[in-house]
Structure 1
Amino acid sequence: MAEDIQDIDTIIEAFELIDDWEERYRYVIELGKALPPFPEEARTEANKVRGCVSQVWLETTFASEPDGPHLHLKGDSDALIVRGLVAILLALYSGQSARGILETDAEATLATLGLREHLTPQRSNGLTAMVARIRRDAEAALAAA
């Protein structure tokens, strides 16, 4: 996982310490700002996430490990809040095994953060589309292994 991306446990702890949703939104935006720069050449149609109102790109690379393929993710968005949501998903998934990704209950983690209740329906749908895309990539990695 990239050094600039916080781990999911740190993000969950921060959410628990921040009571005010305006402050949580600021934190999500800061997470997005801390993402490593996304390569311009990776802003392709193949990396674009369908189902998002904002522009969202996810680039997935695979590494063979003894326990199966691991996915390494990079992402970006043209919207600040959505870029922060990308950062949360990268913290949750990047560097994990494909099998581990498919076993991870993203909805439970997102529920812990309380995100769904505080996102617009469009952003919530976009978040669902990003999770589905990562899961499809994990399934493809397992099928190819």
Structure 2
Amino acid sequence: MANADFEELVETFEFLDDWEDRYRHVIEMGKAMDPLEEAFRVPATKVDGCASQVWLVPQISDGVLTFRGASDAMIVQGLIAVLSALYNGQPVADILATDAPAELARLGLNDHLSAQRSNGLRAMVERIRETAAASES
């Protein structure tokens, strides 16, 4: 079972019957995120494998991961917000134990994202997991 923020998102998605409503909700989540300063939009924070430009800035403090991110595409910005609900504020060990594809499948994302968006989402998950794993060594 995922953390409380993600469980709340799952409940919201269950309430929203239509995928277009869910899609709009994901976009609104992205719009509600704090903007990422231009100073962090650099090659070191850019996520490869995404069709649009994506930057993730992870931080680990006392074994807990937080990250901020941004994209130049509204839906991808929303996907960053979804990943934030799944991962932000979680202990590194929990991040590594989370089956992200299974958790994200609970939202029905797999069925409604293009292949490029799905690849980008996987690349973002992988970047977060790599950061978490590197902090454990």
The TM-score, its normalising length taken from structure 2, stands at 0.95
Question: For 1:14-53, what aligned pairs fall within 5 Å after superposition?
Answer: 14-53=12-51
In structure 2, the partner of 1:121 is 115
Partner secondary structure for residue 106 of structure 2: helix
Per-residue deviation at 1:105?
Answer: 0.9
Per-residue deviation at 1:83?
Answer: 0.5
Number of equivalent positions: 134
- Give the unaligned 5+ runs of structure 1: 1-5
Partner secondary structure for residue 113 of structure 1: coil
For residues 57-93 of structure 1, the C-alpha deviation after alignment (integer angstroms, 9 at most, x for no partner) is 10011102xxxx1111001110000100000001110
Amino acid at match of 1:14: T
The percent of aligned pairs where both chains have the same amino acid is 54
Amino acid at match of 1:118: H
In structure 2, the partner of 1:81 is 75
2:95 to 98, 101, 112: 101
The TM-score, its normalising length taken from structure 1, stands at 0.90
**Counterpart-to-counterpart distance in 2, 1:45 and 1:111:** 30
In structure 2, the partner of 1:3 is none
Partner secondary structure for residue 51 of structure 1: coil
In structure 1, the partner of 2:61 is 63
RMSD over aligned Cα, in angstroms?
A: 1.1
In structure 1, the partner of 2:124 is 130
**Counterpart-to-counterpart distance in 2, 1:85 and 1:15:** 14
- Give the unaligned 5+ runs of structure 2: none
In structure 1, the partner of 2:9 is 11
